[in-house]
Amino acid sequence: MSTASGVELGYGQAILSVIAALVLVPAQRALRPRIDSVFFPERHAFERGIDDLVHELAEPGGSHGDLAAAVDRIDALLRPRAGALYTCAADGRFVASFSRGSQAFPDLAATSPLIAALRGRRRPLAGPEGGRIAARATDLDPFQRAVLETLRVSVVVPVHRDDHLLGFLCLAAKRSGDVYTAVELALLGLTAQSIARYVSSGGRANAPSDGESRSSSPSFPEAKPSVAEDPSGASRRNRWAFISYASEDAATAARVVSYLESRGIACWFAPRDARPGHDYAVEIIHAIETAEAIVLLLSDHANRSQFVRKEIERAVSKAKYVIPLRLHDVAPAGALELLVSSEQWIDASVPPIERHLDRLADSIVAAGLRRGV
């Protein structure tokens, strides 16, 4: 008798659980927006605003169906200190077609390692903000961190169509000092997908007003590989500068390469320029022998790196012009002290590093002129 009662009680509890689920789940779905609007007004406003933006981008004929309005909407919702939507110009450069705030955003060459880092990334990049770490900041490689450092932003959201990088949205730290949450990053990723679909369906950016655009053609043409990106590597065989760096300084090296190439100075930069299927050591040796100048990123890590030592030894044996770029308050040590102590280094120990790179570029050009390039 007690067993039967227990079975009946179990059935009763199961039935009540099903009824509760049928009643409470729809009720929770209906009540959640109201609860969020009262207790979490900023989150509710952001989610609602992104939802509206996604629907408006799906209707290009709508009053807000353009990219300038999309940037305005995101700026109003998240209130970053600065932000920009980068697009690919006709000459292959990525430029800040729509920017907000007083911050200046640099152009990036299609061959920049920073652009290569974005081509391989689908999810938003999020980095340090005001001493705190935003969601998912630890999954970035050195080149992806270099994107955030070079642009001086906290979040970069790539915009892809199939396997092609169309552009990217970048946002500086929030004016409120809050970090970008995982939900906000996910919704920004959804917005990027909507922008890609909008462009693919024939949508175009409205011309921005004076002072907003740095591009004469604010659209999303497909970024074509330049001559320097020839997969055969034939166009990479003769470069002006070889970049020698320790692996721990990869993010800084990527920033240096990006800046030099924006100045029209080609760089041989491992592993980017090592041809697949070829002996890596032979590639390095040939690149050093054909370079007009060797840029040594001098740091404690470089002092301890056997690879850097071997590269500089090879460069000196070939009478190459070595330009040490001092990243920190450190002097050449060990074998490097013998190899480069007589060279005039460029002190870049006071950040930001970009303020010292014009002098580096001028030194590389001078090295080429001395050799009749």
Report the b/e string of 191-225 with b at 16+ CB within 10 A. Answer: bbbbbbebbeeebebeebeeebbbbebbbbeebee
Q: Evaluate whether 77 touches 52 at the Cβ level (below 8 Å).
A: no
- Give residue 365's pLDDT: 84
Can you give the residue ranges of every domain in the chain?
Answer: 43-200, 227-370
pLDDT band at 48 (very low <50, low <70, confident <90, very high): confident
- In which band, very low, low, confident or very high, does the pLDDT at 325 lie, cut at 50, 70 and 90? very high
Q: What percent of the chain has pLDDT over 70?
A: 70
Say yes or no to pLDDT of 182 above 60: yes
Instruction: Look up the CATH number of domain 227-370.
Output: 3.40.50.10140
Q: What CATH number should be reported for the domain whose range is 43-200?
A: 3.30.450.40
* Mean pLDDT (the chain, rounded): 75
CA 90 – CA 215 distance, rounded (Å): 9
Task: Provide mean pLDDT across the span 285-294.
Answer: 92
- Distance in angstroms (rounded) separating the CA atoms of residues 177 and 132: 10
Q: Are 202 and 161 in contact (CB under 8 A)?
A: no
Question: In which band, very low, low, confident or very high, does the pLDDT at 228 lie, cut at 50, 70 and 90?
Answer: very low
- 43-200 and 227-370 agree in CATH topology: no
Provide the b/e sequence for 47-82 (b: ≥16 CB within 10 Å).
Answer: bebbeebbebbeeeeeeebbbbbbbebbbebbebbb
Mean pLDDT of the 136-141 span: 59
pTM assigned to the model: 0.56
